[in-house]
């Protein structure tokens, strides 16, 4: 009897765990996939590989978004920063022939600067995160259009002598490749590396702990000697840098830098974080939850497209499922 009660208790505690709930949501989606398997294509590895490749850029954005949301903020600028960096990296590596050893750090720096600016506005000048990052979203999009002249940056260049094709950088080829016997995309590995880095920061390093403390109770954190302004700025700076990583991947995958790229990606990134179960109020959540959230959103879209649900239906269903998943995860709390 006693043992049974204890078991029941511990089972209940596991059920209440956010990670368990997030996994349950993922399993439900997978079951739906197995049910509506589009004549068996859901059971082929290629389907999963392509889903992972497709979700990677969003996932990379979600890594930074997780950090920011845990501090109790939001970063709306990540989609635009992705667009800006995709243009910049294409410009540097395709048009100007920079080596990736110089171009990649330059791109990351630009992302970092965008994020640091938002962060400083929020932490030092007390602008609301929504407003500050919305301003950065608009500004970064403007810069992307300015440096690209409003055109896509690709191999083909119009010169006075006519149309010239430039070499496609090997770095982009590498990033766009599939390795291990064509079984996994390189961008997916980049995503996993980003998730690992963000996860380690949150769980193993002092600033990560401070993110939770600030999101949980900013005033208590401040009175405990936590450098609140510096820590918040760091969260947005890293979010900008992850967006830059995603921007380079975007350019490689699209084989061009599109100044319009990344529009509304920030919303997908937020959806991934929230579906994973990280609380928008801050102070709670983890990188593991975001990983599960990325898979959930990725499979959802994949299953809908496998079953040839049109875009209209797909969007409407996605809206429903986001709400359902969030309500489901909130449970009794």
Partner 1 sequence: MSVPLLEMKEISKSFSGQRVLQEVRFDLRAGETHVLAGENGAGKSTLMRILSGVYPEYEGDIVLNGTKLRFKSPQDAARHGISIIHQELSLIPSMTVSDNIFLARERTGRAGWLRFSREEKNCAALLERLGVAARAGTRVGEYSIGVQQSIEIAKALAFNARVLVMDEPTSALTEPEVERLFSVMDGLKQDGCGIIYISHKMEEIYRVADRITVLRDGRYIGTADRDDLPRDGLIKWMIGRTVDEQIHRDPQTPGAVALELERFTVPDPGGRPRPAVNGVSLLLRRGEIVGLAGLQGSGSDVLVNGLYGAYGPVTGGQVRVEGAVYRPRSPKYALDRGVALLSNDRKREGLVAPMSVTHNISLAALPRLSPGGLLRDALERNVAERRKADFGIRVASLAQAVGTLSGGNQQKVALAKCLEVEPRVLLLNEPTRGVDVGAKQEIYALMNMWTAAGIALLLITSEMPEMLALSDRILALHQGKVTAEFDRSNATPEAVLAASMGGTGKETP
For binding to partner 1 (CB under 8 A), which residues are involved? 203-210, 212-213, 216-217, 219-227, 283-284
Nearest-angstrom CA–CA distance, 98 and 88: 11
Q: How large is the greatest C-alpha to C-alpha distance in the chain, in angstroms?
A: 88
Shortest distance, position 203 Cβ to partner 1, whole Å: 8
153 backbone dihedrals φ, ψ, rounded to 5°: -95, 105
Nearer to partner 1, 152 or 222 (CB): 222
Shortest distance, position 323 Cβ to partner 1, whole Å: 23
> Quick check: 266 and 129 in contact, CB under 8 A?
no
Nearer to partner 1, 49 or 284 (CB): 284
Nearer to partner 1, 91 or 273 (CB): 273
Shortest distance, position 142 Cβ to partner 1, whole Å: 33
Distances (CA, A) of 55 to 157, 271, 293, 321, 332: 31, 12, 11, 17, 31
Shortest distance, position 14 Cβ to partner 1, whole Å: 14
Nearer to partner 1, 157 or 203 (CB): 203
CB atoms within 10 A of CB 72: 21
Distances (CA, A) of 25 to 28, 100, 113, 327: 5, 40, 37, 11
192 backbone dihedrals φ, ψ, rounded to 5°: -65, -40
Token pair listed for 220? 């208590």
Nearer to partner 1, 149 or 225 (CB): 225
Nearer to partner 1, 95 or 222 (CB): 222
Nearer to partner 1, 121 or 226 (CB): 226
Nearest-angstrom CA–CA distance, 310 and 303: 12
Shortest distance, position 234 Cβ to partner 1, whole Å: 12
Shortest distance, position 229 Cβ to partner 1, whole Å: 10
Shortest distance, position 18 Cβ to partner 1, whole Å: 11
Q: Among 175, 173, 179, 170, which residue's Cα sits nearest to residue 49?
A: 179
186 backbone dihedrals φ, ψ, rounded to 5°: -65, -40
């Amino acid at each position: 009897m006693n043992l049974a009660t204890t078991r029941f208790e511990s089972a209940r505690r596991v059920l209440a765990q956010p990670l368990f709930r997030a996994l349950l949501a993922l399993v439900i989606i997978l079951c739906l996939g197995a049910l509506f398997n589009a004549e068996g294509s859901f059971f082929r590895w290629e389907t999963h590989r392509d889903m992972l490749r497709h979700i990677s850029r969003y996932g990379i954005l979600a890594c930074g978004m997780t950090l920011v949301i845990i501090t109790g903020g939001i970063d709306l600028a990540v989609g635009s920063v992705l667009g800006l960096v995709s243009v910049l990296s294409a410009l540097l590596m395709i048009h100007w022939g920079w080596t990736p050893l110089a171009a990649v750090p330059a791109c990351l720096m630009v992302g970092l600067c965008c994020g640091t600016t938002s962060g400083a506005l929020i932490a030092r000048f007390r602008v609301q995160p929504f407003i500050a990052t919305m301003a950065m979203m608009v500004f970064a999009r403007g810069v992307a259009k300015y440096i690209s002249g409003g055109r896509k940056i690709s191999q083909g260049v119009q010169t006075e002598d006519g149309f010239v094709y430039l070499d496609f950088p090997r770095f982009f080829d590498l990033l766009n490749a599939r390795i291990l016997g064509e079984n996994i995309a390189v961008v997916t590995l980049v995503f996993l590396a980003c998730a690992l880095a963000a996860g380690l920061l949150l769980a193993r390093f002092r600033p990560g702990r401070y993110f939770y403390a600030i999101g949980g109770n900013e005033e208590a954190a401040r009175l405990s000697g936590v450098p609140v302004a510096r820590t918040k700025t760091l969260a947005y700076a890293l979010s900008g840098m992850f967006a830059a990583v995603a921007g380079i991947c975007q350019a490689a995958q699209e084989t061009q830098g599109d100044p319009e790229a990344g529009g509304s990606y920030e919303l997908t990134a937020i959806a991934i974080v929230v579906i994973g179960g990280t609380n928008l109020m801050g102070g709670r959540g983890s990188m593991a939850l975001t990983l599960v959230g990325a898979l959930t959103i990725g499979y959802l879209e994949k299953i809908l497209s496998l079953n040839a649900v049109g875009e209209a239906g797909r969007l409407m269903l996605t809206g429903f499922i986001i709400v359902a998943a969030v309500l489901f995860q909130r449970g009794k709390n």
